[in-house]
Homo-oligomer: A and B are copies of this chain.
Amino acid sequence: MALLDESAKGVYVIAVTPFADDGALDLESTDRMVDFYLGKGATGLTVLGMMGEAPKLTGAESNTFVKRVLARVGGRVPVVVGVSAPGFAPMRELSESVMAEGAAGVMVAPPGSLRTDDQIYHYYEAVAETLGNTPFVLQDFPLVTNVQISPATILRIVKALPTCVMLKHEDWPGLSKISALRAASENGERRISILVGNGGMFLPEELGRGADGAMTGFAYPEMMVDVGKAYAAGDVERAHDLFDAYLPLARYEQQPGLGLTIRKYTLAKRGAIASGALRKPGPKLSSSDIADIERLIARQTRRLAEIG
């Protein structure tokens, strides 16, 4: 499998981890989900992301799940694996294992204890040393990690660590950060790939600032794909029209705490996975929640039909 590099673009869907209603890992749904995402135009997949249910898996289950995803993908698109860990030994172990199995790269979020610029830089320096030749994605997600990484610190990492090839941009707000990084690469700094997160809630504006696509898990990946295509074709208003049609649901899915449950409900409804169940512990949807989602999906369908 080709390794991830700075030219990555498009939509890397953050995959959910499918479970049966009884909490068992659902490998058949794993296959179905891979096919679903690729069928909707995903140009890459990301698994074991920090916001999902990866920490609920045992070591053996993680391994089984990643192998299954890689086998089903079969090299059609690159697969990124989240390897954030409290120590470098388990990070190295997981990284070497998934790269040997065919992953294209790994993703690392900073531990919540980092504060100063130097602490953040030195952490990623040690990450790069740990990972060796494996390309990695810097996950910048302050809302969850509580770590704020300035553009200058990102540029310092990019300059010193050639295996850092992508930024998963999830700062919020972060439009000016994309602008600053792109201005720097126009001034000669290495240009890395920037894929945006936050459920795609700012996708058109982020594309306008120079993002190369999205890496997030909204249950309608075709939104990101189609918005990206319209933007690339120069039809900015069309990109916004599409985006606006999906925004009410994307917003609802982006609720902290409940978001993943909403996403899995929708994916199950769409047939991507057999069950929307979360492995315990996890919240459940109320009947009011479900009524909200159903209304939003119905309205979204109507609106998409209107704009054609």
Closest to A92 in B: B58
**Contact indicator A148/B56 (Cβ below 8 Å):** no
Identity of the chain B residue whose Cβ is nearest the Cβ of A292 in the assembled complex: B205
Interface contact B173-A257, CB-CB below 8 Å? yes
Please name all residues of chain B whose beta carbon is closer than 8 Å to the beta carbon of A237 when the two chains form the complex.
299
Chain B's nearest CB lies how many Å from the CB of A225?
19
Number of copies: 4
Closest to A127 in B: B281
Binds B, one of A34-42, A80-88, A212-220: A80-88
Contacts of A286 in B (CB 8 A): 176, 179
Q: Are A56 and B88 in contact (CB under 8 A)?
A: yes
B-contact bits for A146-176, CB 8 A (1 contact / 0 none) = 0111101100000000000000000011011
**Chain B residues with CB under 8 A of A148:** 115-116, 119
Q: Chain A interface: which size bin? A: 35 or more
B252–A117 CB distance below 8 A:
no
Specify the chain B residue showing the minimal Cβ separation from A258: B173
Of A131-139, A240-248, A267-275, the one contacting chain B is: A240-248
Q: Is the CB of B251 within 8 A of A247?
A: yes
- The residue in chain B whose Cβ has the minimal distance to the Cβ of A281 is B126
Contact with B along A65-94 (1 / 0, CB 8 A): 000000000000000000001111110010
Residues of B within 8 A of A257 (CB): 173
Chain B residues, Cβ within 8 Å of A255: 172-173, 175
Q: Within the complex, what minimum Cβ distance (angstroms) separates A34 from chain B?
A: 22
Interface centre among A149, A173, A201, by most B CB within 10 Å?
A173
Q: Does B175 contact A289, Cβ atoms closer than 8 Å?
A: yes
User: Is A57 in the interface zone, CB < 8 Å from B?
Assistant: yes
Which residue of the partner chain B has the closest CB to A55?
B86
- Write the nearest CB–CB distance from A48 to chain B, whole angstroms: 12
Knowing A172-B256, A251-B201, A281-B88, say if A288 contacts B179 (CB, 8 Å). yes
In the assembled complex, A118 has its CB within 8 A of some CB on chain B: yes
Q: Is the CB of A252 within 8 A of B58?
A: no
Nearest residue, chain B, Cβ from A240 = B299
> CB of A279 within 8 A of chain B?
yes
A209-B288, A256-B172 are contacts. A118–B152 as well, Cβ < 8 Å?
A: yes
| Known contacts A58-B89, A257-B173, A258-B173, A244 near B248 by CB under 8 Å | yes
Q: Give the CA-CA distance A93 to B57 in the complex, in Å.
A: 10
- CB-CB contacts below 8 Å: A217-263 with B: 236-237, 240, 243-244, 247-248, 251-252, 255-259
Q: A59-B59, A179-B286, A247-B251 are in contact. List 10 more A-B contacts (CB 8 A).
A: A56-B86, A57-B87, A172-B256, A173-B255, A173-B258, A202-B251, A208-B288, A209-B288, A240-B295, A247-B247
